[in-house]
Amino acid sequence: MSESNPPSVFRKWAMRQYWRMQQSQAVVGLLLWGTTITLLVWPYVRWRFEASCNESLCFNDSFVGIPATYFGLLAIFLTVMFGVLTIGYLYDQVFSLWTEWTQVAAERNPYVTYAMTPNWMLITALQAEMLRRQSEGDEDMQAQAEWFLKWCKENAEGEMFARAVQRWDKDLGPTPTFWFTDDDAMQRARDLKFDDED
């Protein structure tokens, strides 16, 4: 929302669509991988499930009325799923790569590094205000408390805070003007229109 770096409506819309696709990616991707590899492997073993197979390892009969072909396809699919599970186990238990992934994800998350969600902003501002009141005469602590309140005021100009204020107004009645911000900032939060409320 800052004037120097206005939000890109297209980028946000594209990221929202990408996020929606990611929600089903794990399940859909696993099924697609299993199906694809099963159908790629099938031509190499299909002959063992045909009536013309006369080798020692043939499966050209049916089992309880179901052609053995289906069992062959199922066996390939389950083998692929077991392979994926094995790789997941190695990723988790042997190499522990998820710890580094989590660290990188935290480093790239603005709400872990320099930005604040509305609830964290209110807690931080409340603690800074209590610190300011309890440390009268300590200039260093007063300066730090003021810095925290300034940080909260800056974050009150963001979209996350605007969403929170609008929701609080709807659910709880008019949101008060908090001590670390001003009436104009609260009104800007109320006036902000979101393009994803569909």
Q: What pLDDT is attached to residue 27?
A: 87
Q: Cβ atoms within 10 A of the Cβ of 164, count?
A: 19
pLDDT at res. 7: 63
Q: Would you state the pLDDT for residue 152? A: 96
Tell me how far CA of residue 30 lies from CA of 25, 70, 116, in angstroms. Answer: 8, 20, 35
pLDDT score at 98 = 84
Question: 165 with 186: CB under 8 angstroms?
Answer: yes
Digit-coded pLDDT (tens) for 139-167: 999 999 999 999 999 999 999 999 999 99
Q: How far apart are CA 142 and CA 148, in angstroms?
A: 10
pLDDT given at position 194: 87
* Crossing angle between the packed helical segments 9-45 and 68-89, to the nearest 10 degrees: 130
Q: In this predicted structure, what is the pLDDT of residue 118?
A: 95
The pLDDT value recorded for residue 3 is 47
- Residues of the chain below pLDDT 70: 1-7, 197-198
Helix, strand, or coil (residue 62):
strand
Q: What is the pLDDT of residue 5?
A: 58
What residue segments make up the domains of the chain, in order of their start?
9-108, 114-191
Residue 1 pLDDT:
46
